[in-house]
Amino acid sequence: MAAPVTGWQAGAMASSTSGSGGTTATSPSPTTSPAPSSTASPSASGDARSEAGGSASGASAELAALAEAVARRRNFAIISHPDAGKTTLTEKLLLYGGAIQQAGAVKAKGEQRKVTSDWMELEKQRGISITSTVLQFDYAGSTINLLDTPGHQDFSEDTYRTLAAADNAVMLEDAAKGLEPQTRKLFEVCRLRRIPIFTFINKMDRPGRDPLELLDEIEQELGLACWPVNWPIGSGDRFRGVIDRRSHAVILFQRAERGRASEEKVLSVEEARSSGAVEPELLEAALEELELLEGAGAELDLERVHAGELSPVFFGSAMTNFGVRPFLDAFLELAQKPTPRASSAGAINPIGPGFSGFVFKLQANMDPRHRDRVAFVRVCSGRFEKDMTVQHARTGKAIRLSRPQKLFGQDREVVEDAYPGDVIGLNNPGMFAIGDTLYLGPKVEYEGIPCFSPEIFAWLRNPNPSAFKSFRKGVNELREEGAVQILYDTDQSKRDPILAAVGQLQLEVVQYRLENEYGVKTRLEPMGFTVARWVSGGWPALESVGRIFNCKPVRDAWDRPVLLFKNDWNLNQLQEDHPELELSTVAPVVSGVEPITL
């Protein structure tokens, strides 16, 4: 077996104060330096040289500390189809990382705890994740940032945005079902961003498909080469453990008390044979399959892993804790550290003197008692410090960040500093938008996060005119955080917004939150459209083709034309009639333009 490659590939991808938020915007103030004195004494010159040397030494020490902090960080998101066990795996990783003492079941019953990563009441009621959050914990000398994403396919756009902040992705599969539609869709997003993908085949304690068949499906259908880091011993009710492919250690699992870490026994192959710790036929079958894998000639190449071309594969069961710790240990060894990111100033190295980061998510009312609004910022370069004043690229304003927070589900604490790969929460009194860049030093602006094509459209009616103020506030804030896209009729006398979403559950959540967080009951009226396309050339391009049929022109929040179609046939018909009209499934990124509000 070839030794693992040690190199890694940098995947370059691309004055008003809020009384409650603690975020202050000020006008940039120029700094002046005193003119050098022409009568400086020799001793003064020596002092200056000493100070310069000390300054250089201090800067070097700061960069060394920054490099060490970056090397310790691992950042990842989990992608999966609903019910593959994403929330369960998330909690078990937190359990092994010591972030929680006991994991709760996905659907809590009786005295069981609610899922740590799910904070919204609707999530707890339905036993699903429908928002993104950030979970940071330390394990084996590393700091891990787990970007928890919605598991339900109706919230895939929230997952797209979160993947923009991830350095690695864990693709979670059900051993019985293999690849599923949502997994395929999210994999394509990872491929576009060249994100390294680690595969965890879950639910091995239940009847499932042959492991070799599952690997072949990934390679054939996704074009992603696989390298199993461990191999299962048995499956279903005879799943006993795994064989580590690199060390050839046999790791056997024993069930532990519910919600606790499983007990593991590590043996050599010969010890496993002689001790009778596992049924001989299961062990020999697993070893034979490993021989087949070795004969295939594939090697574990970290450059290919970090380029998103080769996926390390793990087997286990999140519900029973089998295989979770071996996965976490290997992931820390193989995963990509925070990498350079594409920007208007070129690729930005994380180990640079100037802080920079971008907003990838907004969330309102995570703490309903305080009616707060939080902006999630991925730190990309330099060291972030509490109370630092940064530049806001979109508005050009200087903003003092006085209350940065580390979020753990709904819990939070004030942070003093953060490093590339970390995610911080900033109180948002309405000044941040998804995709905004914050920076120190020369101006830099990271690539924006586009809007994806929705598939369900409905008028949102407010039957109570006296509640219009709350209705307007709720709609605007939920649009800001990306809970749903908002469209408007081209007839500006029609003030009711159009909700545009990927799935029906998104619309239900908006109604639920408007009622529970803003005190407004609403009514939805479906519109009967299933396809949306942005007009690439804007309003002039749309006006140039004259009258169009079988579609409805509307405006998005940035006053760009969007065409709604009942089906793909109507879309194709328009494209045949007007081939000069360029349409896009993804909205272009907007910079420096304020969105329309209700």
Task: Mark out the alpha helices in 250-395 (DSSP H runs).
Answer: 269-275, 280-295, 302-306, 324-334
pLDDT in tens, 175-210: 999 998 888 888 888 888 889 999 999 999 999 999
CB-CB contact of 513 with 475 (8 Å): no
Cβ neighbors of 89 (< 8 A, separation 6 or more) are 78, 170, 172, 200, 202, 318, 324
CB-CB contact of 265 with 252 (8 Å): yes
Question: DSSP for 355-374?
Answer: -EEEEEEEEE-SSTTTT-EE
Q: Which two tokens stand for residue 247?
A: 């060390």
Q: What is the pLDDT of residue 11?
A: 34
Q: What is the pLDDT of residue 105?
A: 37
Beta strands in 120-267 (DSSP E): 133-139, 142-148, 168-174, 197-202, 225-228, 230-233, 241-244, 250-254, 263-267
pLDDT in tens, 6-25: 332 333 333 333 333 445 55
Residues 378 and 356: their CA atoms lie apart, in Å, by 9
Q: What is the pLDDT of residue 20?
A: 37
Residues 316 and 332: their CA atoms lie apart, in Å, by 17
Residues 581 and 536: their CA atoms lie apart, in Å, by 8
More confident residue, 259 or 519: 519
CA distances (Å), origin 278, targets 165, 234, 239, 318, 374: 43, 10, 10, 21, 51
Q: Which two tokens stand for residue 163?
A: 């993947």
| Residue 267, SS3 per DSSP | strand
| Residue 489, SS3 per DSSP | strand
pLDDT in tens, 209-222: 999 999 999 999 99
Q: What is the pLDDT of residue 283?
A: 94
Q: Is 440 exposed, middle or buried (0-12, 13-18, 19+ CB in 10 A)?
A: middle
Question: DSSP for 222-247?
Answer: H--EEEESEEEES-GGG--EEEETTT
- Computed over every residue of the chain, the mean pLDDT equals 80
Residues 184 and 221: their CA atoms lie apart, in Å, by 9
Cβ neighbors of 219 (< 8 A, separation 6 or more) are 225, 226
Q: What is the pLDDT of residue 35?
A: 40
Alpha carbon dihedral 215, 224, 117, 20, in 10-degree steps, equals: 180
Q: Which of 92-106, 113-127, 426-440 is most confident?
A: 426-440
What confidence tier does 558 reach under pLDDT thresholds 50, 70, 90?
confident
pTM: 0.74
What confidence tier does 53 reach under pLDDT thresholds 50, 70, 90?
low
Q: Which two tokens stand for residue 64?
A: 């060394």
pLDDT in tens, 120-143: 454 444 443 334 467 888 899 999
271-280, 342-351, 355-364: lowest mean pLDDT where? Answer: 355-364
Q: What is the pLDDT of residue 205?
A: 93
Residue type, 357: G
Number of CB atoms found within 10 A of residue 257's CB: 9
Does the pLDDT at position 375 exceed 70? yes
Q: What is the pLDDT of residue 262?
A: 65
Distance of CA 244 to the CA centre of its chain: 29
Residue 362 dihedral angles phi and psi, to the nearest 5° = -120, 145
Q: Pairing state of beta strands 398-401 and 389-392?
A: antiparallel
For residues 540-551, average pLDDT:
92
Q: What is the pLDDT of residue 118?
A: 44
Q: What is the pLDDT of residue 123?
A: 43
CA angle 20, 24, 29 (to 5 degrees): 165
Does the pLDDT at position 391 exceed 70? yes
Q: What is the pLDDT of residue 96?
A: 80
Tokens 């006991």 correspond to: 102
CB-CB contact of 263 with 254 (8 Å): yes
What confidence tier does 513 reach under pLDDT thresholds 50, 70, 90?
confident
216-225, 290-299, 375-384: lowest mean pLDDT where? Answer: 290-299
Q: Which two tokens stand for residue 57?
A: 């030494």
CB-CB contact of 259 with 114 (8 Å): no
Does the pLDDT at position 291 exceed 50? yes
Residues 310 and 305: their CA atoms lie apart, in Å, by 5
| Residue 207, SS3 per DSSP | coil
Q: For the chain, what's the residue count?
A: 598
Residue type, 211: P
CA distances (Å), origin 318, targets 96, 314, 416, 493: 11, 12, 34, 53
CB-CB contact of 214 with 175 (8 Å): yes
Residues 476 and 460: their CA atoms lie apart, in Å, by 13
Residues 561 and 490: their CA atoms lie apart, in Å, by 9
Q: What percent of the chain shows pLDDT beyond 90? A: 47
Residues 162 and 169: their CA atoms lie apart, in Å, by 11
Q: What is the pLDDT of residue 171?
A: 95
Does the pLDDT at position 466 exceed 70? yes
What confidence tier does 40 reach under pLDDT thresholds 50, 70, 90?
very low
CA distances (Å), origin 429, targets 19, 372, 457, 537: 9, 8, 29, 33
For residues 411-429, average pLDDT:
85
For residues 369-396, average pLDDT:
86
Does the pLDDT at position 100 exceed 80? no
Q: What percent of the chain shows pLDDT beyond 70? A: 77
Tokens 């919600």 correspond to: 259
pLDDT in tens, 499-510: 998 778 778 888
What confidence tier does 70 reach under pLDDT thresholds 50, 70, 90?
very high
Q: What is the pLDDT of residue 233?
A: 95
Residue type, 169: A
Q: What is the pLDDT of residue 459?
A: 95
Distance of CA 10 to the CA centre of its chain: 19
Q: Is 35 exposed, middle or buried (0-12, 13-18, 19+ CB in 10 A)?
A: exposed
| Residue 63, SS3 per DSSP | helix
Residues 260 and 101: their CA atoms lie apart, in Å, by 8
Does the pLDDT at position 589 exceed 70? no
CA distances (Å), origin 53, targets 36, 59, 60, 233, 387: 18, 10, 11, 60, 28
